[in-house]
Structure 1
Amino acid sequence: MNMLHAGSPLTDKFAFDALAAAVCVADSGDERVTLSLKSEDSDFIRFNRAAVRQATHVSQGYATLAVVSGGRRIDTTLSLTGRLDVDTATLRSQRSLLMAQLADVPEDPYLLLPDAVTSSTRDETGELASPAALIDAVADAAQGLDFVGFYAGGPVVRAFADSRGQRHWHRVESFHFDWCLYHAADQAVKTAYAGTHWDADEFARRVATGAQRMVLLAQAPHRLSPGAYRAYFTPTAMVELLGTLGWSGFSVKARRTGTSSLCRLEQGDAQLHPGINLHEDTSHSIAPSFTADGFSKPSVVTLIDAGRAGGTLNSPRSAREYGLEANGANAQESPEALRLAPGTLAEADALAALDTGLYVSNLWYLNYSDRQACRMTGMTRFACFWVEGGRLVAPLSVMRFDDSFLRLFGSGLVALTDRAETITEGGTYRERQLSSLTTPGALVDGWRLTL
């Protein structure tokens, strides 16, 4: 059953088209008027001890109106009311102000806008639980557990229009649910479940798996000495490693200025395992196929091909600066739909293949300890376990790692699992996000723990 409040004008395509038709009008042939929209109609539910502590519904929309002439661009961002007449009048008034001020704006030598007039529509209806059904699912699955979690779900919209007739519409109904089963002190089992189609049985299965691991948390922690260990990273842990790689690894600006963590890979001084194939894969994600400036994104950009450096993410400004083709990258040139291709190790056999070593469920506080060497540091978090004979036997004390991604996923990679999981960005600061990361689990040798 769908949870959404039907008919919200902030997530309605016809309302946006009407707004664009009234506002995206230029005074002369030299000007370009653009309108981009970010909106959502979301339910937020917070749980503690498996009971609802806060339930909120948010309908919001923000429109960015811009006027461009030659190398001059000026813009403003406004909160929309959802009333077409009011929003139209406000944006038309702002358009007049921007046009009057445009001559005072200095020329931007790196301004680049799309030449092609393209349009696209994606309107994906999901299958989301109603708030009542979600609350019942938590009550049933987490009975007797200290379940602490945060759910966000509903439609999220990105849209773009300009005075040349360009129209892009992207509306996806999705959800993200993060929760912990709390044991004591700093001990908890953390789990996430996200997607576009809610499955109560899958949710219950994940809660039950976490509950089984809660029993192990009552045992004395297995203490490790600093050293190199065989380890299995779950997809959740892989998200932290690959997310850190995305800070600078694939940016063309960082590559050209020598600040990318993958400069050695590009220069051929290092090589990852041939099983590493990384793509910015918008076609299999919930991210829009266009940017806030109206650039269409390619379906796939190959970033690492069989362990070797591939393409880069080129923002419009970098494309202008370096004489390249823009390929739909955001201003930070960071991935929004990163996908690591799966390997051949059956996920069910991961613990047996690990045999003895570390089961790493979560990592946090990641940063670069040596960016040029692609060396990362961070901490283990939540329910990480010591494994013997392919069985989880005891929780681990919190440990810090410091290791090179190039080594770890080069000579250190043993195998990738055969199933990749998509984990969406769960941040809700100002607005829900549409970025995601899809990755299998990974079995590695020689993961270096420092303390």
Structure 2
Amino acid sequence: MADTPLQCFQTLVDNLRDALAPGEHFTLGYSAEHSQFIRFNHARVRQAGDVSQASALLRLVKDGRQAEMRFTLGNDDQVDLERLEGALSQLRQTLPLLTADPYLKLDETPWQSHSLLEQALPDCSEVLAEVERGAGDLDLVGIYATGPICRGFASSFGAFGWHQANSFNFDWSLFHANGQAVKASYAGQDWSREAFASRLQQAREQLDYLGRPLRVLEPGQYRAFLAPAALEEITGLLCWGGFSGQSLATGDSPLQRLYSGDARLSPLLNIDEQVIGSLSPAFSDEGSPRRDLRLVSEGRALERLVSARSAAEFALEANGADSYESPCALSLGAGDLVASEVLARLDTGLYISNLWYLNYSDLPAARMTGLTRFATFWVEDGKIQAPVSTMRFDDSVYSLLGSQLEALTVEREMILSTSTYGQRQTGSSHLPGALVRGLTLTL
């Protein structure tokens, strides 16, 4: 019987401890997945396959110097141990060539963390049957990914962390004969036939509206509802340094004014790094335990994400952030707007399902620009009237999530990272929809 990923990792750690020379310290990170992928076109399976892979990241430290090396692992303990020995040998040759790292700060506590989120995932045949039942007559294009993801960390100081979580992520688009499309997704750990059917039915209803003539809007400010997927693009851009201890210390954060107290967001806004219960491990890639953080409370900045390196460089207190200091499990608090009442509350304005190509037009002012995408509709008297042609918006977060924010929905959507670059990711966002009094369209 083959060793489990945890047993493979433990074997590497035990051998590494035995191989250490006096004065040496190590950290060892581990990543693994066993994933099933299914690609759809015209609601039919066009490609299916499995991916099983594992890798390790070894960091060797001695006399204030550090060097690291990533290597691929297989299903053979002997081969893996040979690769570990080879990596250790190369790092030992490299270290004397390096200068001491002035910001090297290792967590020397022997912390322990063990998390297994092993909810039963649906059989792929069940998923295929649900797709056929709900979209067999439609041009559905998408990808379904499922399976366990593992992360591990260990250090020569006795720290040991293990995280294993099952999840699924179905990301798809429904295309109209005129080339327009509705984009949707369904992701999580507990598959619900009813929830998936509801999400698919909503996309189907929006697809029908795309057959109507496009409505062309003039530049200006419009009342708008941002669906969770659209809001995720905005919060995702904010995570590019917005809550980073390093970016705030160097003045490069788009939320500099918020953290300095010169500006604030809406009192309706509460933003957390919600690690507990998420798909992300409770330890960072640098080897520190993570904890939940209240980043924004009632529109005011509170905590920030601080890695061990930033803590050393800027005299801050580390709180388990990864080296890139971006939220791994962003959670935006719910409001009191019921989803079934969104159109009536919007009354007249824009229903925006997705945004894309976002970037900063004025980073210090947290001003963003981007395009509406896929299903954006013009609403009058609480009813969808027509799809809207692609428009560019340019607006400040201090407006959209500040003075112009009217309400947030009670219901929130769990959005998992769809990135499979190198490996499936564990990042997530838990977001409501947002009703804003004014969104500025420029062209």
Same fold (TM over 0.5): yes
- Contact 1:274-1:307 at 8 Å conserved across structures: yes
| CA displacement 1:189-210 (0-9 Å, x = unmatched) | 1100000111223222211211
The reply on whether 1:303 has 2:295 as its aligned counterpart is yes
| CA displacement 1:359-386 (0-9 Å, x = unmatched) | 0100000000000110000000001111
Structure 1 partner of 2:208? 215
**CA shift for structure 1 position 185:** 4.5
- Cα distance in 2, alignment partners of residues 374 and 338 from structure 1: 18
- Contact 2:335-2:408 at 8 Å conserved across structures: yes
- Cα distance in 2, alignment partners of residues 185 and 142 from structure 1: 18
Structure 2 partner of 1:346? 338
The reply on whether 1:182 has 2:175 as its aligned counterpart is yes
Alignment of 1:168-247 (within 5 A): 168-247=161-240
Length-normalised TM-score, structure 2? 0.97
Runs of at least 4 residues off by over 4 Å: none
Alignment of 1:28-427 (within 5 A): 28-298=21-291, 300-427=292-419
Letter in 1 for 2:375: A
**CA shift for structure 1 position 49:** 0.3
- Cα distance in 2, alignment partners of residues 442 and 195 from structure 1: 22
- Cα distance in 2, alignment partners of residues 101 and 26 from structure 1: 17
- Cα distance in 1, alignment partners of residues 209 and 346 from structure 2: 19
Structure 2 partner of 1:449? 441
Aligned to 2:411, the other structure's residue is in SS state coil
Letter in 2 for 1:432: R
Unaligned runs of 5+ in 1: 1-6
- Cα distance in 1, alignment partners of residues 189 and 437 from structure 2: 35
- Cα distance in 2, alignment partners of residues 185 and 317 from structure 1: 52
- Contact 2:116-2:163 at 8 Å conserved across structures: yes
**CA shift for structure 1 position 114:** 0.5
- Cα distance in 1, alignment partners of residues 316 and 66 from structure 2: 21
- Contact 1:66-1:73 at 8 Å conserved across structures: yes
- Cα distance in 1, alignment partners of residues 25 and 154 from structure 2: 11
**Between Structure 1 and Structure 2, how many residues are aligned?**
443
- Cα distance in 2, alignment partners of residues 315 and 91 from structure 1: 27
**CA shift for structure 1 position 230:** 0.6
**CA shift for structure 1 position 261:** 0.7
| CA displacement 1:308-346 (0-9 Å, x = unmatched) | 111111122111101111112122211111111111112
- Cα distance in 1, alignment partners of residues 161 and 35 from structure 2: 22
Aligned to 1:141, the other structure's residue is in SS state helix
- Cα distance in 1, alignment partners of residues 248 and 286 from structure 2: 23
- Cα distance in 2, alignment partners of residues 27 and 259 from structure 1: 40
2:421 pairs, out of 411, 420, 429, with: 429
Unaligned runs of 5+ in 2: none
Aligned to 1:106, the other structure's residue is in SS state coil
- Contact 1:24-1:34 at 8 Å conserved across structures: no
**CA shift for structure 1 position 125:** 0.7
